């Protein structure tokens, strides 16, 4: 999102965030009044109480996530919008309609006000795009060297869609596995700007809010959607392994069906990474009843962020707990969970 | 994708497989030398597409796997006790030393950095003039030119705080050792394509001549590997023993003379200990005496006691192709990628890790049955 020009930064008498901004005193107030509250204003946040008080009824979903990404600005986004989209998407995967978010900053002293402002503006626009509100939050500042520029935690709450029945136990043999878009773009966008590794590319992070897309699909297909997951850290391979393990079913996937944009595939090849293990931020996996798979795919392709969706595999009765991939050339192999970080090969 | 999809074309794969099934009349044992080849064979599921008569044995061509325990201990010591910025390729940092890996040293506060290029380490040395920067220069002939170049650059820049902890190993002496090992019984080799890209073909002719084994310099994509295997089997079936070059789009007979010159400028031939195999004469490179100031081995006094390998680990037998990873009593039990007993379970190119991560479905099922 291009956002820099739309919200001019307020005139403040400080250029960087200092320990004082987390003290709770005048500096904290100045930062909040002229920054956070002003930008993110809504009825609940404007109460400025210790927490948000609101009515809720029915089945709710609640999720939290912390964002420690480095670098904080990356091709296609920044830590702010990532923090909003991430929690919005986690709630969506529960079949919920995200409504309210909390927002906490842990800032390392020395972060420039300009950077902080840009992050805040991104948060504002990400909230508007997803249709959610920040209703409570917190700001802490730690000494130089005790953090890494800025960490953000968001928690979110939302009502579960009346037709949603998302649960691992609902998996059935024959169910189809659908991926909503090209995989591995977020991870490779970050890799391309990692210190010591910079390579020229036009790969942009796929960070986006998936809630509107998920809502439309739930409206249309309801309980025929058995499971939704977003393959963030650890990528598609890790999530599918978790699903196979927890559901005690087997999973088959087909390499040639898995959508990866060419530039991402080339970059992965060059760095010795497997796109199946690379992080995504704007992609989800849906496991759906076999007989609706084609119409589900057809609908998804017309929705936001779904045009590259594909059916990549199915749930099977054999090899319980394991994910098996049929390679492009027809060979088969087990796709395991990674032990640690995916490390580059050396020759 | 240009230069990739062509070499992964399913129809071509089928053609090669059909021909391979047609020409194979008796059992053959072929060793692929390079860990990259092992990885590709397993990752693409090629092993269970091959005729059953063909047995692929995975060679010692994983630099991480053959780096001696002692040297890893040395790297950990430099990072922890000498306060250096220890830079390494990614694979190396998880390999267990006798006490800990570089990754564990990093978690304890040592300054360990993962780099993609040794030239980045030279840059780090420039940027941190008060710190010593050591690059853990591991690898076969393939990584040697870049490692050597880092020393050339450091010298040119007049840097006094850069050195390399070199553990370079050479392929032909290792092949010789395998051929001299009575247990190994390898009938032919897929030579390592990228090693030959640097060094050329000359040093392989005497090996083929002396041991009368077919050898095909082979690349890393599915089509490369299948073509290489086919060329090898054709020779075996005809009773021939020649050196052939499957990877001619990359490998030239003379190799890369500029790279060879840089290597020669910085390194000299030395005996080298191979983890799990033992010392092989003239099988490695070390920094030349006149460049001692860039050699971490000479620059720092390291007082560590040499510790023997874990007795349960059969890495040596796996690296020589005598045992398959799953024939080890500890495979997937006491030894797994989370807690590896030996290096082949760590590196992405290690035979044990390749089997653990991607294990060839058919072969494993056969072994379990």
CATH number at residue A207: 3.90.650.10
CATH 3.40.50.11740 in chain B is located at 65-170+255-299
| Residues 6 or more apart in contact with residue A23 via CB below 8 angstroms | A141
Note whether A150 and A206 are same-domain residues: no
Note whether A141 and A38 are same-domain residues: yes
CA distances in angstroms from A91 to A60, A131, A161, listed in the order given: 10, 13, 11
Chain B CB contacts of A269 below 8 Å:
1, 4
Q: Where are the alpha helices (DSSP H) in B30-182?
A: 35-43, 63-66, 69-81, 102-107, 118-127, 144-156, 171-180
pTM of the entire predicted model? 0.86
| Two structure tokens written together for A64 | 């939290």
Is A299 inside any structural domain?
A: yes
Domains of chain A: total: 2
Note whether A25 and A136 are same-domain residues: yes
Distance from C-alpha of B327 to C-alpha of B8, rounded to nearest angstrom: 31
At residue A279, the pLDDT reads 93
| Two structure tokens written together for B334 | 């006491």
CATH class of B5-64+181-245: alpha beta
Band of residue A79 on the pLDDT scale cut at 50, 70, 90? very high
Comparing CB atoms, the residue among A333, A339, A347 nearest residue B63 is A347
Q: Tell me the residue ranges of DSSP E strands in B181-331.
A: 188-192, 215-218, 243-245, 267-274, 278-287
Is A202 inside any structural domain?
A: yes
Residues in chain B, pLDDT under 70 = 1-3, 347-349, 358-369
Over residues B252-290, the pLDDT tens digits come to: 999 999 999 999 999 999 999 888 788 999 999 999 999
Over residues A206-237, the pLDDT tens digits come to: 999 999 999 999 999 999 999 999 999 899 99
Q: B4 and chain A: CB distance < 8 Å anywhere?
A: yes
Distance from C-alpha of B278 to C-alpha of B316, rounded to nearest angstrom: 8
Note whether A315 and A174 are same-domain residues: yes
Q: Are B311 and B105 in contact (CB under 8 A)?
A: no
Is A53 inside any structural domain?
A: yes
Question: Is residue B344 classed as helix, strand or coil in its secondary structure?
Answer: helix
Phi and psi (nearest 5°) for A41? -45, 130
Name the closest residue on chain B to residue A344, using Cα atoms.
Answer: B90
Is A268 inside any structural domain?
A: yes
Domain that holds residue A46: 19-160
Q: Where a domain ends, among A160, A183, A205?
A: A160
B65-170+255-299 has which CATH code? Answer: 3.40.50.11740
Distance from C-alpha of B37 to C-alpha of B196, rounded to nearest angstrom: 14
Note whether A295 and A205 are same-domain residues: yes
Note whether A78 and A198 are same-domain residues: no
Is A231 inside any structural domain?
A: yes
Buried b (16+ CB within 10 A) or exposed e, A190-215: bbbbeeebeeebebebbbbbbbbbbb
Distance from C-alpha of B5 to C-alpha of B152, rounded to nearest angstrom: 37
Q: Which residue in the block uniquely carries the two structure tokens 């041991």?
A: B211
Band of residue A2 on the pLDDT scale cut at 50, 70, 90? very low
Q: Are B243 and B217 in contact (CB under 8 A)?
A: yes
CATH 3.40.50.11750 in chain B is located at 5-64+181-245
Note whether A212 and A319 are same-domain residues: yes
> Which of B157, B125, B121, B153 lies closest to B138 in space, CA to CA?
B121
Q: Where a domain ends, among A160, A192, A216?
A: A160
Comparing CB atoms, the residue among A333, A344, A345 nearest residue B360 is A333
Over residues A11-66, the pLDDT tens digits come to: 666 789 988 888 888 888 888 888 888 899 999 999 989 999 999 989 999 999 99
Note whether A69 and A218 are same-domain residues: no
At residue B132, the pLDDT reads 97
Band of residue A307 on the pLDDT scale cut at 50, 70, 90? very high
Note whether A149 and A181 are same-domain residues: no
Torsion of CA A231, A237, A240, A245, to 10 degrees: -130
Residue A151's CATH number = 3.30.1330.10
CA distances in angstroms from A71 to A24, A106, A198, A263, listed in the order given: 28, 15, 12, 21
Q: Looking at chain B from residue 328 to 367, which residues have their Cβ under 8 Å from any Cβ of chain A?
A: 337-338, 347-349, 356-362
Distance from C-alpha of A89 to C-alpha of A207, rounded to nearest angstrom: 10
In this prediction, residues A166-179 reach a mean pLDDT of 97
Note whether A45 and A110 are same-domain residues: yes
Q: Which residue in the block uniquely carries the two structure tokens 């020393």?
A: B151
* Chain-centroid distance, C-alpha A206: 9
Note whether A194 and A330 are same-domain residues: yes
Cβ of A27: how many Cβ atoms within 10 Å?
19
| pLDDT higher than threshold 90 for residue A74 | yes
Best probe of the A interface among B116, B259, B338, by most A CBs < 10 A, is B116
Note whether A97 and A184 are same-domain residues: no
At residue B369, the pLDDT reads 42
Name the closest residue on chain A to residue B345, using Cα atoms.
Answer: A339
Name the closest residue on chain B to residue A331, using Cα atoms.
Answer: B45
CB distance B48–A346 less than 8 Å? no
Percent of chain A with pLDDT over 90: 75
Size of interface A-B (CB pairs under 8 A): 105
Whether the ω angle into residue A45 lies within 30 degrees of 0, i.e. cis, is: no
Is A12 inside any structural domain?
A: no
Is A172 inside any structural domain?
A: yes
A269-275 own/partner pairs: CB under 8 Å, 24+ apart: A269/B1, A269/B4, A270/A199, A271/A191, A271/A197, A271/A344, A271/B116, A272/A344, A272/A345, A272/B348, A273/A187, A273/A188, A273/A191, A273/A342, A273/A344, A274/A237, A274/A342, A275/A183, A275/A184, A275/A235
Q: Where a domain ends, among A160, A178, A211?
A: A160
Distance from C-alpha of B40 to C-alpha of A138, rounded to nearest angstrom: 49
Band of residue A347 on the pLDDT scale cut at 50, 70, 90? very low
Is A36 inside any structural domain?
A: yes
Cβ of A298: how many Cβ atoms within 10 Å?
11
| Residues 6 or more apart in contact with residue A31 via CB below 8 angstroms | A12, A17, A21, A139
Distance from C-alpha of A143 to C-alpha of A131, rounded to nearest angstrom: 35
Q: B116 and chain A: CB distance < 8 Å anywhere?
A: yes
> Which of B156, B192, B184, B199 lies closest to B285 in space, CA to CA?
B199
CB distance B14–A336 less than 8 Å? no
């Amino acid at each position: 999102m291009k956002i820099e020009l739309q919200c001019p930064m307020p005139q403040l008498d400080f250029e960087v965030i200092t320990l004082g901004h987390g003290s709770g005193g005048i500096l904290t107030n100045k930062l909040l009044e002229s920054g956070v509250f002003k930008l993110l204003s809504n009825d609940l946040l404007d109460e400025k109480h210790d927490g948000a008080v609101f009515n809720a009824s029915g089945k709710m979903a609640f999720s939290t996530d912390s964002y420690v990404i480095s670098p904080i600005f990356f091709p296609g986004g920044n830590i702010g919008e990532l923090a909003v989209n991430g929690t919005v998407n986690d709630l969506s995967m529960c079949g919920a309609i995200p409504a309210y978010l909390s927002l906490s900053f842990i800032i390392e002293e020395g972060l420039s006000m300009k950077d902080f402002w840009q992050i805040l503006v991104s948060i504002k626009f990400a909230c508007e795009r997803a249709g959610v509100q920040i209703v409570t939050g917190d700001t802490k500042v730690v000494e130089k060297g005790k953090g890494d520029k800025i960490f953000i935690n968001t928690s979110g709450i939302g009502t579960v869609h009346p037709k949603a029945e998302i649960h691992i136990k609902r998996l059935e043999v024959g169910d189809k596995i659908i991926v909503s878009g090209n995989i591995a773009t977020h991870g490779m966008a970050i890799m391309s700007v990692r210190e010591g590794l910079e390579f020229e590319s036009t790969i942009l992070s796929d960070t986006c809010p998936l809630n509107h897309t998920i809502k439309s699909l739930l409206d249309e297909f309801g309980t025929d959607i058995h499971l939704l997951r977003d393959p963030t850290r650890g990528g598609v391979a890790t999530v599918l392994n978790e699903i196979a393990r927890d559901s005690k079913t087997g999973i088959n996937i087909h390499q040639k069906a898995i959508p990866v944009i060419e530039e991402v595939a080339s970059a992965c090849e060059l760095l010795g990474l497997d796109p199946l293990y690379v992080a995504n931020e704007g992609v989800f996996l849906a496991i759906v009843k076999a007989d609706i798979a084609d119409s589900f795919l057809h609908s998804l392709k017309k929705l936001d962020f779904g045009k590259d969706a594909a059916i990549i595999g199915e749930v099977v009765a054999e090899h319980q707990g394991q994910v098996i991939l049929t390679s492009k050339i027809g060979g088969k192999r087990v796709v395991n969970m990674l032990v640690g970080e995916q490390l580059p090969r050396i020759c | 994708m240009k230069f990739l999809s062509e070499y992964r074309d399913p129809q071509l794969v089928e053609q090669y497989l059909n021909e391979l099934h047609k020409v194979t009349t008796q059992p053959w044992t072929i060793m692929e030398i390079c860990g990259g080849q092992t990885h590709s064979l397993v990752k693409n599921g090629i092993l269970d597409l091959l005729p059953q008569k063909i047995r692929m044995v995975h060679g010692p061509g994983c630099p991480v796997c053959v780096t001696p325990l002692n040297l890893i201990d040395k790297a950990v010591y430099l990072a922890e006790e000498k306060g250096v910025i220890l830079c390494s390729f990614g694979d190396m940092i998880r390999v267990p030393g006798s006490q800990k890996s570089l990754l564990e040293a990093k978690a304890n506060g040592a300054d360990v950095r993962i780099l993609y290029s040794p030239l980045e380490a030279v840059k780090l040395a420039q940027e941190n003039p008060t710190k010593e920067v050591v690059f853990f220069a591991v690898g076969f002939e393939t990584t040697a030119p870049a490692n050597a170049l880092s020393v050339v650059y450091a010298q040119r820049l007049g840097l006094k705080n850069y050195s390399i902890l070199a553990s370079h190993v050479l392929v032909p002496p290792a092949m010789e050792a395998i051929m001299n090992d009575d247990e190994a019984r390898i009938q032919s080799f897929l030579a390592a394509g990228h090693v030959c890209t640097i060094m050329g073909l000359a040093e392989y002719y005497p090996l083929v001549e002396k041991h009368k084994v077919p050898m095909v310099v082979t690349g890393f994509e599915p089509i490369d590997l299948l073509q290489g295997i086919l060329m090898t089997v054709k020779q075996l079936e005809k009773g021939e023993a020649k050196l052939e070059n499957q990877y001619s789009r990359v490998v030239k007979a003379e190799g890369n003379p500029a790279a060879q010159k840089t290597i020669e400028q910085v390194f000299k031939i030395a005996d080298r200990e191979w983890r799990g195999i033992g010392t092989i004469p003239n099988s490695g490179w070390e920094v030349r005496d006149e460049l001692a100031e860039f050699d971490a081995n000479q620059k720092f006094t390291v007082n560590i006691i040499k510790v023997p390998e874990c007795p349960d680990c059969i890495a040596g037998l796996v690296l020589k192709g005598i045992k398959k990873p799953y024939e080890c009593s500890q495979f997937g039990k006491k030894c797994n990628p989370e807690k590896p007993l030996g290096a082949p379970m760590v590196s992405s190119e290690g035979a044990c890790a390749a089997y653990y991560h991607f294990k060839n479905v058919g072969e494993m099922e056969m072994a379990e049955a």
